[in-house]
Copies of this chain bind each other. A is one copy, B any other.
Amino acid sequence: MMRLELDFRSGIPIYIQIVDRIKEMISNGHLKPGDQLPTVRALAQELRINFNTVARAYRILDESGIISTQQGRGTYILEIPPPEVTQAMRQTTIEALTERYLADVLRLGFSPEEVLAFIHRQLKSKSPLQKPF
């Protein structure tokens, strides 16, 4: 149960209200990373609204990188790793990733030139930013 109250007379769209309440609950610790949010249908029933409205709110939060919605699984509050962690990961991770990538690709029989060509090509048509859960 989600103790989330709406004001239907405020003129503020419901999906915005949901977004704001959930942000609040994360800020004040009522929701913690890893917590599962109610399903769109469950929360919709609780609030007596259509589940698509909840889905819209969830989508906004997802695009903001606050939650992770996964079809068939549910929606979860995202872990937000502290900056120093990601910074420490940066160096070791890129080395490991590159090592592994090159090993795999060379093992496939591609030449270094081909690999570079691929990198260049895909770098040009790149849409950035997705995070693993």
Q: Is A70 an interface residue (CB 8 A)?
A: yes
Give the Cβ gap from A84 to chain B, nearest Cβ, in Å: 13
A sample of 13 cross-chain residue pairs with beta-carbon separation below 8 angstroms, ordered by A number, consists of: A5-B132, A9-B68, A9-B130, A9-B133, A90-B108, A93-B108, A94-B105, A97-B105, A98-B101, A102-B126, A106-B130, A109-B131, A116-B120
Number of copies: 2
Q: Is A82 an interface residue (CB 8 A)?
A: no
Listed residue (A29, A71, A97) with the most chain B CB atoms within 10 angstroms of its CB: A97
Which chain B residue shows the least CB distance to A12?
B130
Cβ–Cβ contact A98 & B107, under 8 A: no
Cβ–Cβ contact A104 & B28, under 8 A: yes
With beta carbons under 8 angstroms apart, the residue of B94, B114, B123, B126 that contacts A108 is B94
Given contacts A8-B133, A109-B131, contact A123 B102 (CB under 8 A): yes
